Chains A and B, each alone.
Chain A
Amino acid sequence: MIEARFKLDYPGFTLDVDLSLPSAGITALFGQSGSGKTTLLRAIAGLERVPGGRLVFDGEVWQDEDGGVFLPTHRRPIGYVFQEASLFAHLSVQANLDYGIKRSECRPTSADISRIVELLGIGHLRDRRPDRLSGGERQRVAIARALLRQPRLLLMDEPLAALDLARKEEILPYLEQLHETLKTPILYVSHAPDEVARLADQLVVLDGGRALASGTLTETLARLDLPIRLGEDAGVVLDATVSEHDSEWHLAGVDFPGGRLWVRDKGIPTGHHVRVRILARDVSLAHEKIEGSSIINAVAATVTAIGDDAHPALCLVRLDCGGQPLLARLTRRSAATLQLAAGCHVWAQIKAVALIG
């Protein structure tokens, strides 16, 4: 458990958070620039000393100004990945990796080292200088360097933000691998909803230096008061299991408690857990199951709440689908025509389901 309480008040910038975060899995700190997410991460790392702040990690006090405790950054068992390439320019890739290993309290065994080097696919780069690496390679080395310290907490500050789309796609699978194979908890700062949807287990939404919401990804994304801030990215992420392959049409059937969805087959074997993301704008509602439509995914759902959207013509409808939340973005006129209210049984037609790892 990470308990963080920080209060900063500068002209034009405030940070006022009191969070309890699980020290397991990936917790995304999500928000626009200026929302305080990077400052929060830096405060957790000890790079930013917030007067009066308090930080307890798994029962260990890292900062408690009342008790006169402030553990300097170099004594915190953390790994930190910065937004831009942060490799030491005067050292080779290998020497960059060794820099952290030598100073780590629990040194990795050579098996650990080769496992992490392999995990990030940087074995062939060891003798190179950082200026001979691509942006994606540099960031993979930086992630490996942070991991080789065997940190008890990994902090990542928009590690993909400085990369183009192709480089992002190059690194994301490595991050997913980390998630699956390492037990190290990760705090992941991002302003990109797609990264968050793909990686996070927990989500903290920050705005204006305050935490608007904090909880599991699925529940937090489905809250009606948040999607307004997500705009076009409003939607839910569901955990599902691959259950069937339709080789004729190159589709895969994935099951979630609310039913079965058909997605483009990416070759993921049956029985594997996957995440699917359904954007609110891709969900339409009907009283009856509509036949003769091009939309192949339709699930039965119950309306649980209707909320405002950014534009007065629109509203957001929260649905319960076998215990799983779903969001639909409709015009207010449609909602009135369908006489939608909490408790209504409807069919949710889903135009697009994205399989995200």
Chain B
Amino acid sequence: MFDFLDPADLAAIWLTVKLAGLTTVLLLLIGTPIAWWLARTGSRWKGPVGAIVGLPLVLPPAVLGFYLLVLMGPNGPVGALTQGLGLGLLPFTFAGLVVASVIYSMPFVVQPLQNAFEAIGERPLEVAATLGAKPIDAFFTVAVPLAKPGFLTAAILGFAHTVGEFGVVLMIGGNIPGKTQVVSMAIYNHVEAMEYANAHVLAGILLVFSFVVLLALYTLNPSRKRP
């Protein structure tokens, strides 16, 4: 079925999907409590935490990748920790890519969730409490279902944004085929090697993918407008 792709490109696609999928799952797990806290806290830490989460929105990926490389490298604190735990070093591994992607795509998951939680407001949770629901119960039975459009947006944006990453991967993942080589890296390699036909195929796949993702986002998410 994928005869038109050479095995290396197919491996890059598979790796990208795996990376984006895993990153999205992790981000939904990590991002949901952060978004919940940001949506409801009156703490003075709200601003700083929100800014840190949003940093990848404005930071050049190369800068982010550089710092991650330094932090996770043999002389960085994270590197020392992972080595001490017997996990080895994260740069140039798939695990390293996942960690970097989680940080890089964080705002694309946290912000839609935060907006969704803020839009729900306090009232439905108060109602749930008056009906005997504990806070955690109310969260799963009221807040999460009501924030479903936000979760959908967050998952799609998180996945798509991870698929499109380049700079961070370049810095900390390198370009190891079958291990850390994602689609965007493969395209870069083909162009460097003047293999435009292969680059076209991969680029076309990403283009169609991006369009389908946005189409899904706009059609699956019901409009907020009420008749």
Contact = CB atoms under 8 A, between A and B. Distances in A.
A88 B126 CA distance: 11
B129 A89 contact: no
Interface residues of B, number: 20
Contacts of A86: 123-124, 127
Interface of B: 123-124, 126-135, 137-138, 141-142, 145-146, 148, 226
Contacts of A78: 130
Given A86-B123, A90-B145, A100 B132 contact: yes
A187 B191 CA distance: 75
Contact of B126 (A73, A79, A145, A149): A73
B131 A90 contact: no
Contacts of B123: 82, 86
Given A73-B126, A73-B129, A88 B134 contact: no
Contact of A80 (B130, B141, B146, B226): B130
| 6 smallest beta-carbon distances between A and B, as pairs | A103-B132, A80-B130, A100-B131, A73-B129, A90-B145, A86-B127
A94 to B, nearest CB: 14
Contact of B131 (A72, A89, A131, A149): A149
Interface in A256-289: none
5 contacts: A79-B130, A82-B123, A88-B127, A103-B137, A131-B226
Contacts of B128: 74, 88, 99
Nearest to A79: B130
Nearest to B123: A86
B124 A72 contact: no
Given A89-B146, A90-B145, A90-B146, A47 B129 contact: yes
A306 interface: no
A156 to B, nearest CB: 11
B134 to A, nearest CB: 5
A72 B142 CA distance: 18
Interface in A79-118: 79-80, 82, 86, 88-90, 99-100, 103-105
Contacts of B141: 99
B145 A74 contact: no
Contacts of B146: 88-90
A333 B88 CA distance: 99
A73 B132 CA distance: 7
A39 to B, nearest CB: 14
A98 to B, nearest CB: 10
Given A86-B123, A88-B124, A88-B142, A146 B129 contact: no
Contacts of B129: 46-47, 72-74
B134 A74 contact: yes
A242 interface: no
A45 interface: yes
Q: Residue among A46, A72, A80, A88 with the most chain B CB within 10 A? A: A88
Nearest to B147: A90
Contacts of B145: 90
